[in-house]
Amino acid sequence: MRIIRAAHLGMCFGVRDAVGLALEHADAGPLTILGDLVHNPTVLSALEAKGIAVAQDVAHVKTPTLMVTAHGTSERTLARTRALGFTVVEATCPLVRVAHRAVLTLAREGYHVVIVGQRDHVEVRGLTGDLDRFDVVLEDDDVLALEEHPRLGVAAQTTQAIERVRHLVDLIRRRFPRSEVRFLDTICKPTKQRQSAAVEMARQADVVIVVGGRSSNNTSELVRSCARYCPRVHHVETEADVRPEWFDAAEVVGLTAGTSTPDDVIDRVEARITRGEAAPRPPSRGLPPRPAIPDCAPPRRAVAPGAGPPRSSRADRSRAGRSRRDRSSPPPYGSG
């Protein structure tokens, strides 16, 4: 059995920076994070072990310093929080800030804003928190429920799948042919990289393992994307979730991970797949190295010991995929 990693997987620079910022401020004094800094239980447990508190409501914050999560929040919320006397540290991902600016540009130019995303997700609440009127859509039925406006401005939650967003934008244009529809692509580059790399990997695999938090939207999108190309896809948070029976008769296992998944968690999942039972290891710290890594360079595409030699070229990968079974593209997103 051979294991192949997606060319892009695991922690992005926004998550690494947010975690590094939390550790830096925790070293300086008591810190509370308002909500989950990132959607990964390993990382959250490691932060808790460092003495960092978490509160889901500002009324429960007991420290003078409060941190906003990587998902961002609205200017209105920031102003209310500072008015309560807190020192506010923003760990907002820079690419989420780009999405905020795009949404405010649409509103300022007179468009009725439509966000493609999960209505109750913390990022979407932040994107819409400074707007008086807006809509949020995620499925075809949501678009059918929209009211007509002369100008519609569409942006997206940064971790949405680009295929879904384009499909919904096209549906909005067809539903309102007399309206001006402007789309600003706010899906972040790390999400797009991981999505496309996961699809390329899933085309070659008999089984795919996706590593990431259950509440992580970008991880869930990876699961859905891989399932369109490989019939056996499993979502795990750690190596403890891996089951040996998943790999019966599998020749190639694909491995990818969400943008908040630590490297050592991915490594231990791979070890569990390779050996059937991971060797005893120290508990994961779940934290990125300090200082924070400034970019999203892809990790090594390693093949575990004893799992067979890696393929040497893209052509080899292509031939291997064709020789096994047809992995042709499925119908466009949303059809059927």
d(C-alpha 115, C-alpha 59), whole Å = 29
- Residue 178, Ramachandran bin (φ over 0: left; ψ between -120 and 50: alpha; else beta): alpha
Return the active site residues: 123
d(C-alpha 169, C-alpha 174), whole Å = 9
* CA nearest to 99, candidates 130, 68, 120, 78: 130
Q: At what angle do helices 94-108 and 13-28 cross, to 10 degrees?
A: 110
At 41, the amino acid letter reads P
Q: For residue 316, with 0-12 CB atoms within 10 Å meaning exposed, 13-18 middle and 19 or more buried, which class applies?
A: exposed
Beta strands in 101-184 (DSSP E): 112-116, 134-137, 151-156, 180-183
